[in-house]
Amino acid sequence: MRTALLVLSVGALLGATSACSSSSAGGDEVSAKAREQQVIDTVTQAVPVAQEALGATKVLVDGSWASCPGGVGHRFAGGGTLSASEGDTEAQLDAIRTALVEAGYDDETQADGHVSVSRGEVALDFAPQLAAKTPGTFKMSYQGPCKRYSGDDEDYVKAQNLEGARQVLP
Amino acid sequence: MTTITVPAWLPAEPQLQVTEASGAILTDVRAAATAVSDVAEWARAKGAPADFSGDAAEAADHAVTRFATDTDAVGAALERGALAIDEFLTAMRRRRAEHDDLMEQRQTLNAERDDLLRRIDDATEEQVPGLQADAAQLRSRFAAYQRDLETWRDRVDSDEQACVRSLAAVDQLREGLTAAADRGRTDTAALAAELRRLGTDTDAVNAWWRGLSQAERNALMISDPDLVGNTNGIPTGDRDEANTSAVQRDIEHLLGKQAAGEELSDSEQRWLENARSIELAVANARTAEYAELDIDAFVMSYQPHAFGGDGIAAVAYGDPDTADHTAVYVPGIMQDGTQIDENGLQALNLYEETLGSMAGEDPPRTGSVSTIAWIGYDSPNFNPESTMPWDLIDSGGDVSHTVTEANAQAGGIALSQFVDGLNSTHTGGDQPHLTVIGHSYGSTTSSYAAAGGMDADSLVLIGSPGASEGVHHASDLTMPEGQVFVGAADNDPVSWLGGEDGLLPGTWDDSLGLGADPAQHDFGATVFAVDNGQEFHGAGLVTTGFMENHTNYFDDGNPALASMADVVSGNSDAVVDTGGRTQEAHDYLYDWAGGEVQHHLVQPVVDTYDDVRDGVVETYEGVRDGVGDAIDGAEDVWDDLWPDHWP
């Protein structure tokens, strides 16, 4: 019995790992530039919604291509801050959540003191930045999906990675 | 008429234009001095070409020797210049602090003046003598402030003039030659030899370094930046200065080659990637996300040629020599010096979350934090962009280390020494509270260090493939009671690898693997809640399992990040223990493998039966029922074939 199970398990693992070694595993179906634009579009639509919900007066968001934390693939990611008046942070987070859900973002919050949403393959998180110099500051961060790129796309994401962060908003 | 003379309102004194950012010029001069020192050393080691003889050889020898002497003179001049700038910047740091004190005094005096004016407005005749006395005392204090301010301005002038004099003294070749021949010039070879001799005794290194003069430290940072920047026990600020010069030297050298039309070799490309990555890691502290936190970044290690070009790198956010709470983050497989910027982002997020969680406590807690991304060991890795099997052959040996502990064992020793260095350089004695966080294979490395007696206060293992051989329980990790914490996502495939038995218990494969799964309830650690991630099939093992579920512990919104921040800030009582796993790690793998077999083999059969039942034979009840029975039967057979647990 154990041998039969081992054979089946190894077969399943081989099936998965052979899929991993193919160039398609994790490969993006769109170009890096198209993916970047998709992420930026999602962010530039979401942040004004949160800004309005907070009544934030100032927004600064940047982003860049970076390799993914596990070292496999690249993603376009970044973040920034929204400057709002000091207030009841729970109520402010509820306002952000409500506005983003109404705007079509999926609420995926798991941690207290955060609003985590996603749309498409882009994940966004909003939370008060309590240690900020300016009271009332909210931090936002976002990540596009980790994808593997090859050819010109790979050259592009690696070159962009070296350029560092560039402004996305305002 | 009664007169009360109130001193004039004190205007603000502009802050000095020389700031910490001005230190960049010192980095430039040191980088230039290091480059010149390297050239001089190279020239000294060369004579006439081997095939020269007679007068030609003598002439060539003479030319090379003269070139070496002249280059050394330039090096000596730059060394003096760097020292002058270093001393000036040190003086300006003091002057800025004095300026802050003066401006605080000014604010107090102006406030007292305003208060006196208010009291005068409301005063009665009887109160006038008392107010005149108060005004006289205030005038005296205003005069003392003005004297202090003048003295401060004189000091700034004197510092500037001293710096200009020192620079002017070596702005001619002749003066450089004199400086080079100066008997009092620091013997950097002897200093470097002594530093190497002290080796891993971090307390001794620290005491020795602090005993050097500023000129000696400056000279050694120029002659041996790689040694100074990577020796544990040297203060973080000095390591940073030495390493930053080395990074800049390397980038300029390699980009210069490219600009000259030379193609960089593979190893040079890798070298450049190491240098650019650490440069980015420093720059990341100033991105929009963290701009409101004013984070100082320090390059604590930079060895781009280590481990066959994989490189060693470490960057600190916040100064660990003065921090109340310090965390060292140890990444796992696939991480090398070219990945320090990405790993730095994890440390940055932890830095922000830790300060934020302290500020969010009731009442808010103050304190300084430093988080360090440390890639100081040879993490098993391969080219992640490989698409063909033969691309992996050259790195296959490295990959194989993932299932052995050799790299983790060596890494554990290096980690322990790094932690010793942090304890030696803290200005208040040992680190008040130091946490080590190991992720993936880095958790095995961290466990190895902990089991060997690493001098840390708390240990966090996340996404762990095993807590290292010989560690059966949290108590084997030599941390203080209750200070071992674990996070493991149910759908993180790397966390399925832990376990002291192999897949075939009691056989040869027990010796493979990386030790016990620390997320087990019986292991005895505090297991905190995490984002368990999405389930996956097939290639999802990489795209979802590895690229997402295994790597998102530091992401904003993952409950794991908040728990790690509580551990780092010393608020570990706030970490909620979920109780840990009651199912063996291998059983997660086993369940997934079973799911794969069912997903790829059984389910297609069931789906086909379903299609037949729903589509073709819908009107024939008997046949439909028969098919339904067949489906149930197939599922029963599957359940019988695939038991709940690994047999």
Helices (H) and strands (E) in chain B, counts: 20, 8
Cβ atoms of B551 and B489 within 8 Å: the answer is no
Of B343, B355, B538, the CB nearest to A19: B538
pLDDT digits (tens, 9 = 90+) for B206-257: 999 999 998 899 889 988 999 999 999 999 999 999 999 899 999 999 999 9
Which residue on chain A is closest to B293 by alpha carbon? A132
Average pLDDT, rounded, for chain B: 85
Residue A111 and residue B562: Cβ atoms within 8 Å?
yes
Higher model confidence: residue B57 or residue B469?
A: B469
- Assign B44 a pLDDT band (cuts: 50, 70, 90): confident
Cβ atoms of B87 and B219 within 8 Å: the answer is no
Taking the CB of residue B535, how many other CB atoms lie within 10 A of it?
Answer: 13
Residue B558 and residue A1: Cβ atoms within 8 Å?
no
Residue B539 and residue A165: Cβ atoms within 8 Å?
no
Chains A, B: CB pairs < 8 Å: 195
Query: DSSP of B43-64, one letter per residue?
Result: HHH--S-TT--HHHHHHHHHHH
Residue A66 and residue B345: Cβ atoms within 8 Å?
yes
Q: Which residue, among B514, B536, B488, has the nearest Cα to A16 in the 3D structure?
A: B536
Q: What's the token pair of residue B341?
A: 């910027």
Residues in A closer than 8 angstroms to B355, CB to CB, are: 130-131
Cβ atoms of A116 and A107 within 8 Å: the answer is yes
Of B291, B550, B597, the CB nearest to A81: B291
Mark which residues 54-93 of A lie under 8 Å from B by CB. Answer: 60-62, 66-73, 78-81
Listed in sequence order, the residues at least 6 apart from B255 whose beta carbon sits closer than 8 Å to its beta carbon are: B272
Substitution target in A51, A105, A141, A167 with the highest count of B β-carbons within 10 Å is: A141
* Domain A29-169 coded CATH 2.30.29: no
Residues in A closer than 8 angstroms to B542, CB to CB, are: 19-20, 25-26, 72
Cβ atoms of B380 and B407 within 8 Å: the answer is yes
Domain boundaries along the sequence of chain A: 29-169
Residue B74: predicted pLDDT: 82
Query: DSSP of B313-327, one letter per residue?
Result: EEEEES-TTT-SEEE
B333 touches chain A (CB under 8 A): yes
pLDDT digits (tens, 9 = 90+) for B287-335: 999 999 999 999 999 999 988 888 999 999 999 999 999 999 999 877 8
The H or E element that residue A62 is part of is strand A58-67
Torsions phi, psi for B410 (to 5 deg)? -65, -40
Average pLDDT over residues A68-94: 88
Listed in sequence order, the residues at least 6 apart from B211 whose beta carbon sits closer than 8 Å to its beta carbon are: none
- Assign B576 a pLDDT band (cuts: 50, 70, 90): very high
Cβ atoms of B419 and B372 within 8 Å: the answer is no
CA atoms of B152 and B145, how far apart (whole Å) = 10
Residue B509: predicted pLDDT: 56
Average pLDDT over residues A66-74: 79
From edge to edge, which strands make up the β-sheet containing B325-330? B297-303, B312-317, B369-375, B325-330, B434-439, B458-462, B484-487, B526-527
Question: Tokens 């003046």 belong to which residue?
Answer: B113
Cβ atoms of B221 and B241 within 8 Å: the answer is yes
Residue B356 and residue A60: Cβ atoms within 8 Å?
no
Q: What's the token pair of residue A17?
A: 């790992």
Torsions phi, psi for B439 (to 5 deg)? -115, 135
Substitution target in A115, A161, A166, A168 with the highest count of B β-carbons within 10 Å is: A161
Residue B226: predicted pLDDT: 93
Q: Which residue, among B521, B523, B538, B526, has the nearest Cα to B597 in the 3D structure?
A: B538
Cβ atoms of B287 and A79 within 8 Å: the answer is yes
CA atoms of B495 and B618, how far apart (whole Å) = 46
A124 touches chain B (CB under 8 A): no
Mark which residues 99-118 of A lie under 8 Å from B by CB. Answer: 108-114, 116
Taking the alpha carbons of B451, B453, B456, B457 in that order, is the dihedral positive or negative? positive
Residue type, B179: A
Residue B631: predicted pLDDT: 59
B284 touches chain A (CB under 8 A): yes
Residues in B closer than 8 angstroms to A66, CB to CB, are: 341-342, 345
CA atoms of B99 and B113, how far apart (whole Å) = 21
Residue B638: predicted pLDDT: 61
CA atoms of B149 and B103, how far apart (whole Å) = 10
B287 touches chain A (CB under 8 A): yes
Mark which residues 349-368 of B lie under 8 Å from A by CB. Answer: 349, 352, 355-360, 364
Residue B385: predicted pLDDT: 46
- Three-state DSSP at B412 gives helix
CA dihedral B625, B630, B636, B638 (to 10 degrees): -150
Of A20, A130, A133, the CB nearest to B360: A130
- Assign B388 a pLDDT band (cuts: 50, 70, 90): very low
Substitution target in B274, B277, B292 with the highest count of A β-carbons within 10 Å is: B292
Query: B496 vs chain A: nearest CA distance in angstroms?
Result: 13
Torsions phi, psi for B250 (to 5 deg)? -70, -45
CA atoms of A128 and A81, how far apart (whole Å) = 9
Percent of chain B with pLDDT over 90: 49
Task: Determine how β-strand B369-375 pairs with β-strand B325-330.
Answer: parallel
Residue B609: predicted pLDDT: 62
Residue B332: predicted pLDDT: 87
Residue B387: predicted pLDDT: 46
Average pLDDT over residues A23-45: 85
CA atoms of A25 and A20, how far apart (whole Å) = 5
- Three-state DSSP at A65 gives strand
Which residue on chain B is closest to A5 by alpha carbon? B642
CA distances from B97 to A95, B11, B103 (A): 43, 18, 10
Residues in B closer than 8 angstroms to A131, CB to CB, are: 293, 352, 355-356, 358-359
Substitution target in A8, A22, A169 with the highest count of B β-carbons within 10 Å is: A8
Instruction: Count how many Cα atoms sit within 13 Å of the Cα of residue B359 in the half-sphere of its side chain.
Output: 18
Q: Which residues does residue A127 pair with via DSSP β-bridges, in sequence order?
A: A139
Of A16, A70, A123, the CB nearest to B541: A16
Query: DSSP of B249-302, one letter per residue?
Result: HHHHHHHHHHHTTPPPPHHHHHHHHHHHHHHHHHHGGGSTTTGGG---EEEEEE
Q: What's the token pair of residue A122?
A: 């882009």
